[in-house]
Amino acid sequence: MHLVGRFFGHVTANPPGPEDQQFVHDHLNDPCAALFWAQSGADQDHAVRVARRVSGALGDDREAIEAALLHDVGKSGVPIGAISRSLATVLDAAGLPMTQRMRRYRDHGPRGAEMLADAGCGPLTVAFALHHPGPPPGGIDPVRWKTLSEADG
């Protein structure tokens, strides 16, 4: 059900409107914002939704909001459609082989973390891109991490 919801969410999503664009502008510096806007419209929309949930739970926690807005940037530049994304998730969970493109999609965590570190985004942002949806690495506040993970769920 979760995957189906995500699939239709991806197909039907619109890129952020003016209010959400302002929200992004207010929370990201220029190099980090450039990575945000390089995402597909659907991924931008997903990231804003996650960030709005985080801000609802934690208030204006700028580091956590930045992490939410940027956690999936590693997916940008991987030319893969909604069906293949869902399929990659299923194949990966089953331990079955997948195409090179699907592998790049699956490996978006390390790719995104590298892009974010290069752009000078914050440590929580880099860590969440790298380790989500897994547990937090040492030195990261577990409450913020749990909030981010649940908002992304």
Residues in contact with Fe ion by the rule CB under 5 A = 72, 152
| Chain centre to alpha carbon of residue 116 | 12
Provide the angle, in degrees to the nearest 10, between the axes of the packed helices 62-70 and 123-131. Answer: 40
Pick 47 or 119: Cβ nearer Fe ion? 47
Pick 20 or 72: Cβ nearer Fe ion? 72
Pick 50 or 119: Cβ nearer Fe ion? 50
Closest distance of CB 67 from Fe ion, Å: 11
Closest distance of CB 71 from Fe ion, Å: 6
Of all residues in the shown chain, the one whose CB is closest to Fe ion is 152
Pick 69 or 119: Cβ nearer Fe ion? 69
Instruction: Tell which residue, 52, 68, 72, has the closest CA to residue 144.
Output: 68
Closest distance of CB 46 from Fe ion, Å: 6
Closest distance of CB 138 from Fe ion, Å: 23
How far the first Cα of the chain sits from its last, in Å, is 12
SS3 of 24, please? helix
Closest distance of CB 24 from Fe ion, Å: 15
Pick 45 or 152: Cβ nearer Fe ion? 152
Residues whose CB falls within 8 Å of the CB of residue 27, separated by 6 or more in sequence, listed in order: 51, 62, 65, 66, 69
Token pair belonging to 137: 């690495």
**Could you count the other beta carbons within 10 Å of the beta carbon of residue 84?**
17
Provide the angle, in degrees to the nearest 10, between the axes of the packed helices 30-37 and 41-58. Answer: 130
